[in-house]
Chains A and B, each alone.
Chain A
């Protein structure tokens, strides 16, 4: 479905856009570099070789099983 569909929802879309901008989304500047469209396939959690990171190793799984978080 196109975001630009017209009809009875026309004024509602304008209201929505005005709301989003008024709520502060329009004022956020500088973050555009993040919107690269990289898909989730490109690693939600990357291997972080310089830090501990989260590794679901066997011992972690056992810990969670025993701790029942």
Chain B
């Protein structure tokens, strides 16, 4: 499963690996439009009877019901648009009303000691919801050099994710342009609440 160098070679416990998996799913869904491979993978997902699990099931159902073209159009409408999409999935925007604000500056400072860097191909601000999902995944499964202890993950989550991501996912869940991405909102909202509670245990 993991094909990178780890300074600490202990694999995360199963429950932690599941968290990383869910963060990576959300990261992929939010970072860029769907492609054939993603839709095919989504169609194979299944969840249990929990609210989170039902969101997963809905996502699989929507993936089966939609064409790739429709899925890509929906992403475009929700997140890109002309000038801006229906939603503006950046921490700075949710926390201050503007892009490229102090929340982004704080995030950049905290990324450095964790070995997280923005790709050279990307000029998108790092406080994009999809990027943050990917950062959490990497802290959990050691993609940035080492698996980070729960205390570090919790600190990062509380400072950069928990304050706004739940609101973003709720907005996504209730946006009238969302069909495939509506259950993404459900899953994200549920997962953020689970994370918030889980760190206290």
Residues of A within 8 A of B (CB): 1-4, 12-13, 15-17, 19-48, 51-56, 60, 63-64, 67-69
New A-B contacts (5) at CB < 8 Å, excluding given A16-B15, A24-B50, A24-B51: A29-B45, A32-B21, A35-B1, A37-B4, A43-B121
* In the complex, residue of chain B having the shortest beta-carbon distance to the beta carbon of A20: B15
Would B24 and A63 count as touching, CB distance under 8 A? no
Cβ–Cβ contact A3 & B1, under 8 A:
no
Instruction: Using A37-B1, A69-B88 as known contacts, say yes or no to A28 and B149 having CB atoms under 8 A apart.
Output: no
Given contacts A43-B122, A45-B121, contact A24 B48 (CB under 8 A): yes
The count of chain B contact residues (Cβ–Cβ below 8 Å) is 76
Q: Give A38 to B14 CA distance when docked, in angstroms.
A: 19
CB of B11, distance to nearest CB on chain A (Å)? 8
Which of B102-110, B138-146, B176-184 lies at the binding interface? B138-146
Complex interface: chain B residues within 8 A of A33 (CB): 41
Q: Does the CB pair B98–A69 fall under 8 Å?
A: yes
Q: A67 CA to B17 CA in the complex, in Å? A: 41
B residues in contact with A42, CB < 8 Å: 119
Query: Are the CB atoms of A35 and B17 closer together than 8 Å?
Result: yes
Q: A34-B41, A45-B31 are in contact. Are A52 and B80 (CB under 8 A)?
A: yes
Question: Which B residue sits closest to A17, measured CB to CB?
Answer: B15
Considering the chains assembled together, what is the distance between the CA atoms of A29 and B22 in angstroms?
Answer: 10
**Complex: how many Å from CA A41 to CA B121?**
9
Interface hub of A15, A24, A54 (most chain B Cβ within 10 A) = A24
- B122 neighbours in A (Cβ, 8 Å): 43-45
